[in-house]
Structure 1
Amino acid sequence: TNPTLVWGLIASLLIANAMLLVLNLPLIGLWVKLLTVPKPWLYAGILLFATLGTIGANPSSFELGMLLGFGLLGYVMRLFGYPIAPIVVGLILGPMAEQQLRRALAISQGDWTTLVQSPIAAVLLGIAALALIVPLILRARGKGEVLSQLAGEED
Structure 2
Amino acid sequence: MNSLDIASITSIPSAQHDFDQADLTFSATEWDTYRPEQGKPISYKEQHLIVYPLKELSRAFSVAGIPRSQQQLIKWETDGVLPPTPFTFGRKRFYTENQIRTIVDIALECGLRPRTHVKKTNFSELAHHELTYILKLELNAYEAPVI
Structure (1/2) with the larger strand percentage: 2
Indicate the structure whose relative CO is greater, using CA pairs within 8 Å and at least 6 residues apart: 2
The structure carrying a bigger helix percent of its residues is: 1
* Greater Rg by CA: 1
Q: TM-score range by the shorter chain?
A: under 0.3
TM-score, normalization by structure 2: 0.27
